[in-house]
């Protein structure tokens, strides 16, 4: 059916490329993952605070109460599941990936928000380029050194401003905020941003993590107030 022809395949055909050339496949994969979405919608300043949130200037600490002590030398990130390059990153391997600086707002489900956090680390897109998810991968499960887990759909993990963070405001990320390495996914409630990141599994279906099994929403969009699951 003509409607099923992917626009990029039509373009490729016009350029004399085969529809399944490597470039076309890569571009299609990124399109499915939202590669060219900014992940940040421009809003008027008065609309910057999601519904039900209030602004704080400090940065509260929230976790399960067990803050694991992991030095950069001890830290490892295991990447498993539906990826073409399963691997274990150590500190040096993470530093060898392209480094990005990203500013974003925090929105915690407990109703505090904090504007203009300056993060440094590896964007999830650069990370995804390295591990190369298989086409069947639709979700990730993050596992942390304290046993915490949380799930994300791959397009949410792959937004342009999601970042595997090693520094905040120019300083190494402190232990209480998830150092040496945490995730930050700014367009979702902060419980999705795993501290003390230790493992990422690429999965063929979305599975519930710790809070998601305990009554919280599977996705957690603050603009839609996706705080709790329906049942």
Interface contacts to ligand MTE, rule CB under 6 A: 59-64, 108, 144, 146, 148, 177-178, 190-191, 193-196
Measured between alpha carbons, how far is 152 from 142 in angstroms, rounded to an integer?
Answer: 8
Q: Residue 216, interface with Mo ion (CB under 5 A)?
A: no
Q: Minimum distance between the CB of residue 99 and ligand MTE, rounded to whole angstroms?
A: 21
Residues 6+ apart with CB under 8 A from 79: 85, 86, 87, 88, 89, 131, 199, 200, 202
Q: Minimum distance between the CB of residue 219 and Mo ion, rounded to whole angstroms?
A: 15
Question: Nearer to ligand MTE by C-beta: 168 or 202?
Answer: 168
Q: Minimum distance between the CB of residue 149 and ligand MTE, rounded to whole angstroms?
A: 8
Q: Minimum distance between the CB of residue 196 and ligand MTE, rounded to whole angstroms?
A: 5
Q: Residue 191, interface with Mo ion (CB under 5 A)?
A: yes
Question: Nearer to Mo ion by C-beta: 108 or 153?
Answer: 108
Helix (H) or strand (E) holding 201, with range, is strand 197-203
Residue 87 Cα distances to 28, 82, 90, 184, angstroms: 24, 12, 10, 21
Longest pairwise C-alpha distance within the chain: 59
Segment 107-126, which members bind Mo ion (CB under 5 A)?
Answer: 108
Inter-helix orientation angle 7-14/22-32, to 10°? 160
User: Among Mo ion, ligand MTE, none, what does residue 75 contact (CB within 5–8 Å per kind)?
Assistant: none
CB 9 within 8 A of CB 24: yes
Q: Minimum distance between the CB of residue 185 and ligand MTE, rounded to whole angstroms?
A: 10
Of 171, 71, 89, 180, whose CA–CA distance to 127 is shortest? 89
Q: Residue 196, interface with Mo ion (CB under 5 A)?
A: no
Across 57-160, the runs of DSSP E, i.e. the strands, are 76-81, 87-90, 100-107, 112-123, 139-144, 149-153
- Binding residues for Mo ion, total number by CB under 5 A: 3
Question: Nearer to ligand MTE by C-beta: 28 or 177?
Answer: 177
91 three-class SS: helix
User: Among ligand MTE, Mo ion, none, what does residue 177 contact (CB within 5–8 Å per kind)?
Assistant: ligand MTE
Question: Nearer to ligand MTE by C-beta: 30 or 115?
Answer: 115
H helices then E strands: how many in the chain?
A: 6, 11
Q: Minimum distance between the CB of residue 222 and ligand MTE, rounded to whole angstroms?
A: 12
Question: Nearer to ligand MTE by C-beta: 24 or 179?
Answer: 179
Binding site for Mo ion (CB under 5 A): 62, 108, 191
């Amino acid at each position: 059916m003509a409607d099923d022809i992917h626009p990029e395949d039509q373009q490729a055909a016009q350029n004399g490329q085969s529809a399944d050339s490597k470039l076309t496949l890569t571009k299609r994969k990124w399109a499915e993952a939202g590669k060219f979405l900014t992940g940040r919608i421009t809003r008027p300043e008065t609309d910057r605070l999601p519904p039900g949130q209030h602004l704080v200037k400090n940065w509260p600490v929230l976790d399960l109460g067990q803050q694991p002590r992991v030095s950069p030398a001890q830290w490892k990130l295991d990447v498993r599941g539906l990826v073409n390059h399963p691997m274990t990153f150590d500190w040096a391997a993470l530093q060898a990936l392209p480094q990005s600086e990203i500013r974003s707002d925090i929105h915690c489900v407990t109703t505090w928000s904090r504007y203009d956090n300056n993060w440094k680390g590896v964007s999830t897109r650069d990370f995804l380029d390295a591990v190369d998810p298989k086409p069947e991968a639709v979700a990730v499960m993050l596992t942390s050194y304290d046993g915490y887990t949380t799930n994300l759909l791959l397009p949410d993990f792959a937004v342009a401003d999601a970042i595997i963070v090693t520094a905040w405001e120019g300083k190494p990320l402190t232990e209480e905020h998830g150092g040496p390495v945490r995730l930050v996914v700014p367009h979702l409630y902060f419980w999705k941003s795993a501290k003390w990141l230790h493992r990422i599994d690429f999965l063929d279906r979305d599975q519930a993590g710790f809070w998601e099994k305990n009554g919280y929403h599977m996705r957690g969009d603050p603009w839609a107030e996706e705080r709790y699951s329906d049942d």
